[in-house]
């Protein structure tokens, strides 16, 4: 990860923001001491995974899924179990 000093960040802010928006986060340091980390807003946090569609095509949902076991569920809620 790139570290830049405050002066360099001020001078090249537009370029650095473009890089961060593309996923290349960077650190701004003051007197050699890291102060802030700049990342894209939609960047995943550490350990976070995007899992949308990770099981696509591996199973199918029955057409009557929303009506499955309707009688049994109604009995449970009405106290008839």
52: pLDDT strictly greater than 80: no
CB 1 within 8 A of CB 27: yes
**23-44 per-position pLDDT tens digit:** 899 999 999 999 999 988 875 5
**Angle subtended at Cα 5 by Cα 17 and Cα 41, rounded to the nearest 5 degrees:** 30
**Tokens (6 digits) for 3:** 């570290």
pLDDT at 79: 79
- This prediction has a pTM of 0.50
pLDDT at 81: 58
Structural domains of the chain sorted by starting position, each given as residue range(s) with its CATH number in brackets: 1-41 (3.40.1620.10)
45: pLDDT strictly greater than 70: no
Kindly state the average pLDDT of the residues 7-17. Answer: 93
**Tokens (6 digits) for 5:** 């000093």
């Amino acid at each position: 990860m790139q570290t830049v000093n405050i002066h360099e960040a001020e001078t090249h802010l537009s370029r650095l923001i473009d890089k961060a928006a593309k996923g290349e986060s960077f650190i701004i340091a003051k007197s050699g001491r890291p102060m802030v980390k700049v990342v894209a807003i939609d960047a995943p946090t550490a350990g976070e995974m995007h899992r949308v569609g990770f099981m696509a095509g591996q199973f199918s949902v029955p057409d009557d899924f929303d009506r499955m076991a309707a009688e049994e569920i109604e009995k449970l809620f009405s106290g008839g179990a």
